[in-house]
Amino acid sequence: MHSTKNSESQRNGSANVRRPSWLTQLIGNINRKNARRQHNDPPKND
């Protein structure tokens, strides 16, 4: 009974855990790359 309550709170709390810094950097790099591609590449209509 007690253990189920603990696992419940852990499951709920996991959404609030901060991202590790390497993951934040990775996402930032991907976002920057995508933004740069949109800015620099002309639309390919040919």
Question: Whole-model pTM?
Answer: 0.40
Q: Quick one: pLDDT at residue 5?
A: 63
Q: Quick one: pLDDT at residue 13?
A: 54
User: Tens of pLDDT along 1-46?
Assistant: 566 666 655 555 555 567 889 999 999 999 999 888 776 666 676 5
Annotate 1-46 with DSSP letters as a single string. Answer: -HHHHHHHHHHHHGGGSPPPHHHHHHHHHHHHHHHHHHHHSPP---
Q: How far apart are CA 13 and CA 5, in angstroms?
A: 12
